[in-house]
Structure 1
């Protein structure tokens, strides 16, 4: 059985200020981790800061903070602050995010993503020593930054990765990888690239889960999620690399602007591979398959509408 059992926060369908009771109950239900996601809703750090006080037993992680949307020094300070508030319980996950979030939403050029992630990781490690950093990296320059808050235990850095280059970077310069939007079987293809960087690397996987939801309803929700994500260029390239040719009709319809046809073109078996749904017991078994194939930290992302309390209880390990 998985040694770690994480869940994504903030939880859906409930205001953040009203989530204290649910998050405080997570350890008693067998959850060990909470991981934030920063896209178009909550930021990455505020929910974790609340969870650090609401449930001090939990490990905290970001999955992920984009390396473009905060300046390097600001990112170093934000992460150091949370690491100081929750010593030994925080892991920083960073990644490129996407051209949509970085470029279209934030007006920042989405350029040289591999180098930007590499440079950010190198800068963070230097900054957390407390020494003055003056360095010209390939993608940015830092002149004279000295961290005023240096955590006693610098957080491990995990890198969000999809294809081989970034996966190997995660294993070589990071403390592990964060993976996303893949099946349990795909994990066998992905993890060896991370392990090239050495043994003991963490692999956290964000897994979309809908327990006890009627199959047609779950697949309808999942199809909308798949079209929203897997038509983004970085995710399309990822699934092309994985050999998921069964998505070709969906991609073609999307390119023609035929949204309904794109939804209908996604085969049920692809939906079932990428989004875990069914009875809660089956969902736990399916997540365990990710662990058996190389994931060290499964992070459940509740994806069905409705109050999350019942789903949290149903998926708990206790």
Structure 2
């Protein structure tokens, strides 16, 4: 069970610079707790400078920044500056991406992702300790080494806390590691409530225990696909889009274990085969109502808030609902009740 009296609600901040400030301001105005940028077609960090400038309360973070496309010193520096400028509201959300992207898109090394991520986060903490407390920097790991830090390259100490580090994880090994070294866990839309309670949370607790920490030392987040609309036609369109999105995720080997938990492991093979043929509509038709209910919240606008609370309250600490097709008016109407 999640600690804390209130379920936090997060929203997305576009990673296009021209849109980030207005979107972040709107999230704060509408009472959201946090706003996240993805690393897709644009850099995830730059928009957060604008988001921080145009808000005063909203937490702002990356969900996710690709850790292995960078090194700890580069990430430590940008995280430090965003934390200082936002006055303590920045969250560094890190993910691994997958091997082909790291090697063939970013031209960076890939090996032992959970071990490498643990070391990446440990290196961040060592660098930040050197900057904040004057601790001698002498980090020597299997993947990263940081042993030089002179006054010219040392930023001013923070007047707020160090940045929180959230880690994206689905598999048990990565999730346990998140429990050991992370300040928070970033969920994925292709994760059901059952998977969170039976797999994710126990793995986090094992990691926390190994590090001598408790559940209150870590925030657990979830992303939930939402299908809704102002009328029946809009709801039908949204539902079809969500089915296709679930099918896309289900075709990826990383999420086969999630399907297997529900007894749908064989579906992955068919979805994977169809994805290679570009049969996206056919893939969506394979997602039946039970699967839809496992991975999404579906219904009229006035049912969404209560459905999200029922799904997430007491299970996670914060939730990021993902509306694939709903209008801004529709989203605001759905989430207004959630925030009351």
Structure 1 and Structure 2 fold alike (TM over 0.5)? yes
Task: Kindly state the Cα deviation for residue 90 of structure 1 after the two structures are TM-superposed.
Answer: 1.6
Structure 1 runs of 4+ with >6 Å offset: none
Query: What is the root-mean-square deviation of aligned Cα atoms in Å?
Result: 2.5
Residue 141 (str. 1) matches residue 145 (str. 2): yes
1:211 to 223, 228, 243: 228
Alignment partner of 2:165 out of 157, 164, 171: 157
Which secondary structure does the structure 1 equivalent of 2:319 belong to? Answer: strand
Matches within 5 A, 1:78-227: 78-129=78-129, 130=131, 131-145=135-149, 148-149=154-155, 150-152=157-159, 153-180=161-188, 181-189=190-198, 190-196=200-206, 197=208, 198-200=214-216, 201-212=218-229, 214-227=234-247
Higher RCO, Cα 8 Å, sep 6+? 1
Q: For structure 1, list consecutive stretches of 5 or more residues without a partner in the other structure.
A: none
Offset from partner CA, 1:182-241 (integer Å, 9 cap, x none)? 12333212223223312212112222233326343223212332233333332334443x
The 8 Å contact of residues 228 and 239 in structure 2, kept in 1 or not, is answered as: no
Deviations for 1:26-78, whole angstroms, at most 9, x for unmatched residues? 2332211111221x223221222211111221111222112111121111111
* Contact 1:61 1:90 (C-alpha < 8 Å) held by counterparts: yes
CA deviation after TM superposition for structure 1 residue 88, in Å: 2.2
Q: Are the counterparts in 1 of residues 38 and 62 from structure 2 also a CA contact under 8 Å?
A: yes
CA distance in 1, matches of 2:20, 2:114: 36
Q: Distance in 1 between matches of 2:20 and 2:123?
A: 35
Q: Secondary structure at the match of 1:245?
A: coil
Superposition deviation, residue 140 in structure 1? 2.6
Contact 2:61 2:90 in 1 (8 A): yes
- Cα displacement (A) at 1:313: 4.4
Paired positions, count: 311
Q: Who wins on radius of gyration, i.e. which is larger? A: 2
CA distance in 2, matches of 1:186, 1:43: 31
Q: 1:2 to 1:286 in 2, by over 3 A?
A: farther
